């Protein structure tokens, strides 16, 4: 009963909200009750001014919040200006405690599955992602891939917990040595030994596949990015004992181009910091420490300490900054634990106002004391503080603008963004501001709580700022266009559905249906979907007004379709009721009011109900105050016909013996003229099979049939087998394709390392059963082609995985899959290509013409980029200065390696090494002697 009250409380809340907004609530005359009107579009139509890209926004770290608590707070989080929400780790945990002081349990996973006792289930995570998408918010998942939970302290620190997934715990190839890091200044121990936890062998590809599967499962549910915990401790390809973990795992992610990925690479010791930037964004622990000191925590105040990111020359666009992290707050060292709210606000005003970096706001636990609140509950409310929100909105309004940092003494910093806006941070007493500025002339009103106005005239900004206050100055962009429709997404049960589309804030709009051609329309127009279409047809309605695009999905469903549910009731229950609802749509659709509908007695303890017009639902059974699932738990998710007994959902009656069917050959291709297949069954009295739709043939278990004899290469076969007993039947379908052996060949060329002798080639194919291989390890010696190249021709195979080896050395490394080749291939330095690599070490003089690069007195233009010749993104090693003969066009010629694809930016730098970076994306260019000139505008 408590479950029903909870659901109805949500319904009543939404109804009251709609009345407040002047929206009517109507009940349909049928037995199903649906809250009508535009609730589904109410949230998503609100304009929060969030950036389009995750990287350009701010991250709210909902530390220890449950999925449901995050879901319930998404409107407030969006309104506060956060583009992304970072969850705590979502993997299974070794204990179910909710004690806040045991937060570390979430960082000691036992598997690579979604859901745990502290945060919630896989289904609740999916609902969180779906709700976040409505508000344009990205969900970033904290991932623990370096280690698992341990069995305890002391000598058990490096022993896996007893309840770690057995497929991981019992596989010796999945583990590094069970001991701790003994030298923090060398990469091998940092990446191969433990950090007081059992260390996973992340080079193992079978383990990598588990991790890839987990990550892609999260993506399929709606995750928009990942933070990799302890990324510093997972090896890079060029580390001692390195592996392909990062390129392979990240390269295998679905929708990777749209995911935001960063790693925890704590600076210090053998951190290989800049190398990780080739694969992901990076945390900036040194900068976090500098920010805390700059605002006066455990140090004298000095805003000048907040200028340098201290990030080993890594481009700022790859950095994630914070005032504090969950580690600096919660670890035993108490690095930031005793900061007060003022310190946090001042530090946040500095980092979140800056350009290019992505800033993370850590939400501390609520209440008094370090761990006052339990796991799963929301933290304190500082994230909603008016000054914090003002800075967030400033950040979002300034996307794409460059930055200029100015200081007035040691206690005032001015963060200027292009010529659009400025944040002032005053750590001292009341002060008068009189500073150079690039802002346009005019009067600017402070959007933070400190109030006041500031005047800009002829390159100077003047005004007064209160002691310990923040000033946020900019003109807000106009509201983005808003789009709404009059129908709820999801299933409809009529032949057609009329959808009325409205928009505001745009002069024109268009829509597409199922990705067809755009159709222009005026606000209030109606689009009709589904007329004459088959049941099950899905319609994707995409509406664009100005810069705003929204997508709605509808499915035409059979009104005569029904859910059929069978329930085996507990012996102490009376006749059970069935209560059903569907929360996959907005608003939630609810069947009959609690306690629902009485079920029909089928005998032998079974009861049934038919729910007409529903293709899926969540189900709760109840009788005389009892219910299953329990109070506050989601209902059983069902579709079609299902049997539920003792909490388990079955596709068939579990009390009836189900016939089983098997064959002795794997499905797929066979390479001979014919294939003999033996069909067996158990638990049946009779059976039949059909081949490619022919008449059924009765048979007894163990019968052998032959397929393919004399048929053409490429012929396909569908074998349907049905086995029956007095209670039920089972049908299985098997598919085969006749594929005669390939007589073609291809040649593999390999450039051997200098310290190798003549290389051997070992190749195999695991896509067939049994596995094929050319010869036992180490394979066959290759032929010398000269200039370091060796070759071998593979005949009669259409593909192969190849491993090269010589005198105990091999590539790819041990326990890694061979390079996959399907045609003539060249393999050099781990790169496989279909054409011979160029043997070219020549340098090409490339001339860069940087246009519209206006500078102040003392500034010059330099080029920096991602290769050594361009300084590896270090402003100190940037190439220049360029010539300004044709000012504001600057010219610089640099010798670069032919064929190299480079990324680069221009920077402005003065004699004091103050640097102004270009805004926006990196420029890219492939060095070519026939086209050695690069021209681009300096992005201010």
Is the N-terminal amide bond of 587 cis, ω within 30° of 0?
Answer: yes
Q: In what order do the strands lie in the sheet with 783-786?
A: 783-786, 789-795, 745-751, 825-828, 831-833
3-state SS, residue 449: coil
3-state SS, residue 841: coil
**Structure token digits, residue 850:** 């940087």
239 contacts 187 by C-beta, under 8 angstroms? yes
Among candidates 416, 418, 469, 478, which has minimal Cα distance to 447?
469
- Residues facing residue 412 across a β-bridge: 426
Mode of pairing for the β-strands spanning 453-457 and 460-465: antiparallel
DSSP string, 41-56: HHTTTS-----SSGGG
Spell out where 4-72 has E strands.
Answer: 33-34, 59-61
- Residues facing residue 563 across a β-bridge: 611
Query: Using CA atoms, how far apart are residues 810 and 778, in angstroms rounded to an integer?
Result: 10
Query: Using CA atoms, how far apart are residues 236 and 81, in angstroms rounded to an integer?
Result: 35
Residue 869 is a catalytic residue: no
Backbone torsions φ then ψ of 597, nearest 5 degrees: -115, 135
3-state SS, residue 644: strand
3-state SS, residue 347: helix
Among candidates 275, 207, 284, 225, which has minimal Cα distance to 83?
225
User: What is the enclosing helix (H) or strand (E) of 247?
Assistant: helix 245-251
Among candidates 288, 347, 275, 354, which has minimal Cα distance to 316?
354
User: What is the enclosing helix (H) or strand (E) of 894?
Assistant: strand 889-897
Burial letters for 388-402: b for 16+ Cβ neighbours within 10 Å, e otherwise? bbbbbbbbbbbbebb
Backbone torsions φ then ψ of 440, nearest 5 degrees: -70, 150
Cα-Cα-Cα-Cα dihedral sign, residues 225, 227, 233, 239: positive
789 contacts 796 by C-beta, under 8 angstroms? no
Annotated catalytic residue, options 199, 229, 482, 582: 229
Backbone torsions φ then ψ of 764, nearest 5 degrees: -155, 170
Residue 264 is a catalytic residue: yes
DSSP string, 721-774: EEEE-SS-EEEEEEEEEE-PPP--EEEEEEE--TT--SPEEEEEE-SSSSPEES
CA angle 896, 899, 902 (to 5 degrees): 60
Query: What's the Cα-to-Cα distance from 793 to each of 46, 372, 741, 746, 771, rounded to whole Å?
Result: 63, 68, 17, 6, 20
Query: Using CA atoms, how far apart are residues 622 and 710, in angstroms rounded to an integer?
Result: 62
Q: Could you tell me how many residues make up the chain?
A: 940
Mode of pairing for the β-strands spanning 509-513 and 538-545: antiparallel
Upper half-sphere CA count for residue 817 (Cβ side, 13 Å):
15
260 contacts 54 by C-beta, under 8 angstroms? yes
604 φψ region: left (φ > 0), alpha (ψ -120 to 50), beta (else): left
Annotated catalytic residue, options 235, 264, 403, 583: 264
DSSP state of 300: -
Backbone torsions φ then ψ of 544, nearest 5 degrees: -125, 125
Among candidates 466, 321, 485, 450, which has minimal Cα distance to 395?
321
Query: Using CA atoms, how far apart are residues 470 and 475, in angstroms rounded to an integer?
Result: 17
Which active-site residues does the annotation give?
229, 264
């Amino acid at each position: 009963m408590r479950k029903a009250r909870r659901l109805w409380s949500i319904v009543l809340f939404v109804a009251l909200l709609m009345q407040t907004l002047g929206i009517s609530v109507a009940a349909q005359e049928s037995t199903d009750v649906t809250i009508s009107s535009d609730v589904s579009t109410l949230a998503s139509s609100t304009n929060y001014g969030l950036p389009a890209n995750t990287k350009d926004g701010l991250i709210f770290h909902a530390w220890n919040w449950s999925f449901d608590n995050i879901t319930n707070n998404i409107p407030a989080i969006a309104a506060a200006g956060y583009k992304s929400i970072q969850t705590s780790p979502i993997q299974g945990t070794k204990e179910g405690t909710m004690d806040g002081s045991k937060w570390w349990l979430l960082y000691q996973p036992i598997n690579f599955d979604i859901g745990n006792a502290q945060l919630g289930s896989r289904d609740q995570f999916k609902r969180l992602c779906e709700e976040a998408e409505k508000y344009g918010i990205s969900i970033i998942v904290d991932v623990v891939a370096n280690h698992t939970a341990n069995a305890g302290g002391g000598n058990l620190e490096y022993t896996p917990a007893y309840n770690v997934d057995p497929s991981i715990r019992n596989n010796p190839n999945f583990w590094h040595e069970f001991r701790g890091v003994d030298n923090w200044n060398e990469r091998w121990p940092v990446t191969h030994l433990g950090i007081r936890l059992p260390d996973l062998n992340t080079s193992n590809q079978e383990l990598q596949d588990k991790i890839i599967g987990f990550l892609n499962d999260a993506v399929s549910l709606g995750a928009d990015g990942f933070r990799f915990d302890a990324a510093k401790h997972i090896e890079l390809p060029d580390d001692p004992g390195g592996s392909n973990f990062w390129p392979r795992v990240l390269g295998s992610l679905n929708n990777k181009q749209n995911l935001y990925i960063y790693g925890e690479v704590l600076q210090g010791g053998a951190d290989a910091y800049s190398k990780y930037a080739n694969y992901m964004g990076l945390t900036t622990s040194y900068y976090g420490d500098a920010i805390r000191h700059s605002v006066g925590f455990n140090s004298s105040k000095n805003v000048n300490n907040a200028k340098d990111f201290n990030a080993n020359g890594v481009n700022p666009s790859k950095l994630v900054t914070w005032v504090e992290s969950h580690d600096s707050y919660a670890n035993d060292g108490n690095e930031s634990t005793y900061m007060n709210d003022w310190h946090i606000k001042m530090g946040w005003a500095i980092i979140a106002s800056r350009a290019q970096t992505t800033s993370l706001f850590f939400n501390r636990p609520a209440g008094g004391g370090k761990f006052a609140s339990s796991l799963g509950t929301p933290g304190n409310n500082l994230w909603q503080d008016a000054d914090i929100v003002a800075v967030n909105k400033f950040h979002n309004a300034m996307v794409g603008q460059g930055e200029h940092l100015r200081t007035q003494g040691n206690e005032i910093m001015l963060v200027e963004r292009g010529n659009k806006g400025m944040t002032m941070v005053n750590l001292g007493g009341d002060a008068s501001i009189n500073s150079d500025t690039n802002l346009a002339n005019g009067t600017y009103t402070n959007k933070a709580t400190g109030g006041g106005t500031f005047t800009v005239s002829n390159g100077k900004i003047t005004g007064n700022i209160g002691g310990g206050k923040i000033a946020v100055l900019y003109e807000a962009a106009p509201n983005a266009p808003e789009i709404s429709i009059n129908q709820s997404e999801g299933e409809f049960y009529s032949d057609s559905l009329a959808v009325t589309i409205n928009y505001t804030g745009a002069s024109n709009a268009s829509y597409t249906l199922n990705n067809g051609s755009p159709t222009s329309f005026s606000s209030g127009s109606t689009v009709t979907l589904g007329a004459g279409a088959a049941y099950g047809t899905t319609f994707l309605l995409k509406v664009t007004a100005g810069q705003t695009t929204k997508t709605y999905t509808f499915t035409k469903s059979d009104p005569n379709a029904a859910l059929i549910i069978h329930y085996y009731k507990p012996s102490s229950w009376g006749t059970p009721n069935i209560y059903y609802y569907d929360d996959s749509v907005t608003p939630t659709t609810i069947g009959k009011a609690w306690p629902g509908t009485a079920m029909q007695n089928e005998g032998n303890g079974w009861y049934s109900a038919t729910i007409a017009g529903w293709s899926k639902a969540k189900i709760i059974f109840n009788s005389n105050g009892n219910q299953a699932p329990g109070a506050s738990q989601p209902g059983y998710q069902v579709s079609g016909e299902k049997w539920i007994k003792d909490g388990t959902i079955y596709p068939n009656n579990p009390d009836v013996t189900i016939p089983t069917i098997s064959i002795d050959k794997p499905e797929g291709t066979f390479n001979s003229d014919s294939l003999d297949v033996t069909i067996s069954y158990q638990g049946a009295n009779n059976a039949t099979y059909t081949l490619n739709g022919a008449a059924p043939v009765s048979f007894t278990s163990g019968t052998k049939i032959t397929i393919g004899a004399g048929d053409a290469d490429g012929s396909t076969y569908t074998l349907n087998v049905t086995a029956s007993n007095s209670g039920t039947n089972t049908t299985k379908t098997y598919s085969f394709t006749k594929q005669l052996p390939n007589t073609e060949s291809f040649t593999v060329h390999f450039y051997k390392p200098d310290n190798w002798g003549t290389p051997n080639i070992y190749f195999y194919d695991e896509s067939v059963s049994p596995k094929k291989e050319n010869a036992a390890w180490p394979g066959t010696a290759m032929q010398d082609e000269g200039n370091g190249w060796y070759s071998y021709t593979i005949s009669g195979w259409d593909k192969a995985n190849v491993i090269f080896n010589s005198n105990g050395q091999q590539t790819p490394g041990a326990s890694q899959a061979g390079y996959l080749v399907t045609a003539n291939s060249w393999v050099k330095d781990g790169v496989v290509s279909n054409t011979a690599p160029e043997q070219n070490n020549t340098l090409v003089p490339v001339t860069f013409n940087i246009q519209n690069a206006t500078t102040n007195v003392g500034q010059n233009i330099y080029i920096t980029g991602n290769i050594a010749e361009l300084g590896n993104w270090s402003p100190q090693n940037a190439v220049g200065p360029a010539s300004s003969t044709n000012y504001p066009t600057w010219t610089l010629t640099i010798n670069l390696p032919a064929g190299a694809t480079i990324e680069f930016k221009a920077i402005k730098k003065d004699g004091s090494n103050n640097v102004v970076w270009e805004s926006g994306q990196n420029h890219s260019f492939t060095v070519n002697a026939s086209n050695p000139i690069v021209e681009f505008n300096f992005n201010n």
